[in-house]
Amino acid sequence: MSEDTPTPPPSDVPPVDLSKVETDSLGSKRMKRSFWQRIGASGLTVSLAVHVLLVFIAAAFVVSTVTDNAKKDPNTFATGAGGGSGGERVKSTERKVQPKNVKSLAKTTTRITSKSASASIALPDMPNSASASSMVSGAMAGGASKGFGGGAGGGIGSGKGMGSGGGKNFVAKPVMGANIFSQRLAVYFDASASMLPYLDRVEAEIRDKFPDADVYLSNGVFIDVHDSEVVGGEKFKGTPFLNRPTGGGSKKNAKGELVATETNPAKLTSQGRAILKKYGNNFKTGSVGGWIDVLKDDRTYDALIVFSDFQDGVRQIRTKAIGGVAAYKPDKGMRADPPVVFSDRTNQGGGFARSVTLVASGGASGQPVVQCKDTTGLIEGMVALGAGIPAGTTIVSIVPNVSFTLSKPLTAAATGRVVCNNGGDKRFPEEKKWEEEWEKSFAGARENKGPRLYLISTSRAYGNKPGTIFQRCVAASEGSAIMVKFGSGKKGAATLNDLHNYDDLYVGMPVSGRGIPDGATLVSLPTFKEIIDPEDPEKKRKKRVVDKQLTISAPLTDDAPNAVFAFTPLIQAVATLAKDSKTLTDVSGSVDLRPGMIILDARFPAATKVISVTPNKAAAGFFTVEMSAPATAAGANVVLRFRPAGSTTGNARGAAPVR
């Protein structure tokens, strides 16, 4: 039985137009395509649309970038901060520097100077062709840095540029009245018992300006020399003959126990610890002599400070044969005690050797009293030499800045120069070579080849004592020597009250400190009186107190309680002046006078400097000195004072070491 196929239901789809239907080779039929579809243009349309969009985006980015760059001044140079990290943070110079093209930089340019008659500054030479090429390559290939910094571009800058890091430009920092030019500072603190009370305060003052300073503590400020070798120095290999202790002082700790005071390695930098490990025993044995002899040639530090009361001095002995003198041999069974050939302390502890030239203003024949308006530097016991003074006469008493009394009466009226001294030097020239080596090393500071030396004293003004090796090294390095006194002052008053001591102060010394105006000097020393000690229950013991306080030339501008005041020692000499002449003749009284020192005298214009110091061949101990400006008045046997000039090379130091 068969089944018929059912007829499909009617559809809603409209019938196809047969005119638009193609028939293929198999007889099947399909829709006809348009010409645009047959050539494949549909994909091309999509591709073109995408590319047009990309071109539009790229064009917008380029236009935006050009617009931003056009807003910048193409002639603005960076300051040379270098390091590749300054970027846009580096400020441009206030006055725009016009960049030169490559051709102009490659040529030898001429000096650019001002034609103004009043101008005092000449611009430096432009770079030569080699440096110009380097600068151009640095500017063009700067990469991560801009301008002429030393970043990835390899320009001519270095470090982090001006003002920080490894830059070369920096200014002095004041420490207790001394302007210290340094980035790498070492301090020698005299840790003897007399100085320990100042230790904490002095260290705090120094670390306030130089937080990473290396502070070394050792006993005293002794300089011991055997023949021509400094004890504790790098060349010294023998066994020292010492008549002094080598340990430091002691103070109470938090528990009230007495403990030795020594260098604390934990407070030193890595370089400081390495130096202490290598030379610690040298510093203990040689005291400040060994410390200076080692560090004067070590480039770890660019400045050295010695803080002390400077009460110990130099002692040089002879053990080897020299100049016809046999070598020293100790007596059998006796402790070795080589002869002392030089000491700036007479009788091994009886006071410092000193030589001073004074000017007598009167004194009658047959009388032992010599009138003298300035007795600065005079000491009882000195031998006096001068017109009318018998041989072997000594000074027995002194009335400051009035007169002094001799051990013998005058044989004639006393006028003119009087030379007084209390020391001697028995060394041969070969035995003084260590002093020459010290001076030469410190003179290298002027060319950044050695450290500067600064002396801060609480008692002794080395600058007022002729011949001291300390002062000569200070002058050679263009450092400074000052005295500090702890006291107080009140705003509006011209007095400094109750200083801890008044040693080596004299009228005319420059003084500085909190509240003290620039240029102030010491006008008068204090006077004293004795009173009944109020703490004595029996009221019998007397106490010495200040009657009139020390005065200065200007009132304080601020209160200064518990302050540090600095006094600058001066170099004193006696000379003859001629009006309108730059030449000082018959100069005597000081061997420390050096070119560059500034004279402090109303008969010369301000800031007049020493140009040259020439020994007189016909008269030992006398000199001829040329000044930078002529004297405005004449004078015979005039007392003159000088001070070292301010340093001008302090901003030419290398980068600080890695700590």
DSSP codes joined into one string, 222-243: EEEEETTEETTSTT--S----S
Evaluate if residue 288 carries a pLDDT over 50: yes
Evaluate if residue 651 carries a pLDDT over 50: no
Largest CA distance in the chain: 182
Handedness of CA 227, 232, 236, 237 (dihedral sign): positive
Q: Is residue 179 part of a domain?
A: no
CB 291 within 8 A of CB 217: no
Q: Is residue 321 part of a domain?
A: no
Residue of 177, 159, 157 lying closest to 167 (CA atoms): 159
Distances (CA, A) of 177 to 16, 211, 356, 516: 112, 18, 27, 11
- In one letter, which amino acid is 195? M
Q: Is residue 385 part of a domain?
A: yes
Which of the pair, 253 or 496, is modelled with greater confidence?
496
Strands 583-588 and 623-627: antiparallel
Query: Where among 421, 440, 458 does a domain terminate?
Result: 421
Confidence of residue 283 (pLDDT cuts 50, 70, 90): very high
Query: Where among 386, 421, 456 does a domain terminate?
Result: 421
Q: Is residue 115 part of a domain?
A: no
For residue 6, the model assigns a pLDDT of 53
Report, as an integer, the average pLDDT of 605-632.
89
For residue 17, the model assigns a pLDDT of 52
Distance CA 112, CA 122 (A): 7
Strands of the sheet containing 623-627, edge to edge, are 598-599, 635-643, 571-577, 583-588, 623-627, 610-615
Tell me the per-residue pLDDT of 476-522, one tens digit each, with 9 for 90 and over. Answer: 898 888 899 999 999 999 999 999 889 888 888 899 999 999 889 99
Retrieve residue 404's tokens: 């002094």
Q: What is the DSSP string of 427-476?
A: --GGGGHHHHHHHHHHHGGGGTSS-EEEEEESS--GGGSTT-HHHHHHHH
Q: How many structural domains are present in the chain? A: 3
Burial of 572: CB neighbours in 10 Å, binned 0-12, 13-18, 19+? buried
Confidence of residue 162 (pLDDT cuts 50, 70, 90): very low
Retrieve residue 453's tokens: 């030396």
For residue 116, the model assigns a pLDDT of 43
Residues paired with 315 in a beta bridge:
224, 343
For residue 36, the model assigns a pLDDT of 58
Q: Is residue 606 part of a domain?
A: yes
For residue 133, the model assigns a pLDDT of 40
Retrieve residue 224's tokens: 């011991």
Residues paired with 512 in a beta bridge:
566
Q: Is residue 441 part of a domain?
A: no
Distance CA 234, CA 562 (A): 41
Residue partners of 227: CB distance under 8 A and separation at least 6:
317, 318, 319, 320, 322, 431
Q: Is residue 212 part of a domain?
A: no
Chain position carrying tokens 């400074």: 480
Evaluate if residue 527 carries a pLDDT over 70: yes
For residue 10, the model assigns a pLDDT of 52
Which of the pair, 217 or 119, is modelled with greater confidence?
217
Evaluate if residue 593 carries a pLDDT over 60: yes
Instruction: State residue 280 phi and psi, 5-degree precision.
Output: -55, -45
For residue 67, the model assigns a pLDDT of 54
* CA 612 to the chain's CA centroid: 25
CB 40 within 8 A of CB 33: no
Retrieve residue 133's tokens: 């090429």
Q: Is residue 19 part of a domain?
A: no
Distance CA 152, CA 508 (A): 57
What kind and span of H or E run contains 55? helix 41-70
Residue partners of 47: CB distance under 8 A and separation at least 6:
none
Q: Which of 512-521, 530-539, 627-636 is the least confident region?
A: 530-539
Chain position carrying tokens 């040689």: 286
Distance CA 511, CA 516 (A): 8
Which of the pair, 248 or 349, is modelled with greater confidence?
248
Model-level pTM? 0.66
Distance CA 228, CA 308 (A): 25
Distance CA 231, CA 218 (A): 14
- Degrees, nearest 5: CA angle 298-218-253: 135
Evaluate if residue 658 carries a pLDDT over 70: no
Report, as an integer, the average pLDDT of 14-20.
50
CB 377 within 8 A of CB 351: no
Give the number of other Cβ atoms within 10 Å of residue 423's Cβ.
Answer: 18
Distance CA 410, CA 195 (A): 44
Evaluate if residue 351 carries a pLDDT over 70: no
Burial of 554: CB neighbours in 10 Å, binned 0-12, 13-18, 19+? middle
* % of the chain beyond a pLDDT of 90: 34
Evaluate if residue 83 carries a pLDDT over 50: no
Evaluate if residue 545 carries a pLDDT over 80: yes
Q: Which of 46-60, 123-137, 207-221, 321-335 is the least confident region?
A: 123-137
Where do the H-state alpha helices sit in 144-269?
Answer: 199-209
Residue of 195, 213, 216 lying closest to 284 (CA atoms): 216
Q: Which domain holds residue 148?
A: 128-169
Distance CA 439, CA 483 (A): 22
- In one letter, which amino acid is 150? G
Query: Where among 397, 421, 445 does a domain terminate?
Result: 421
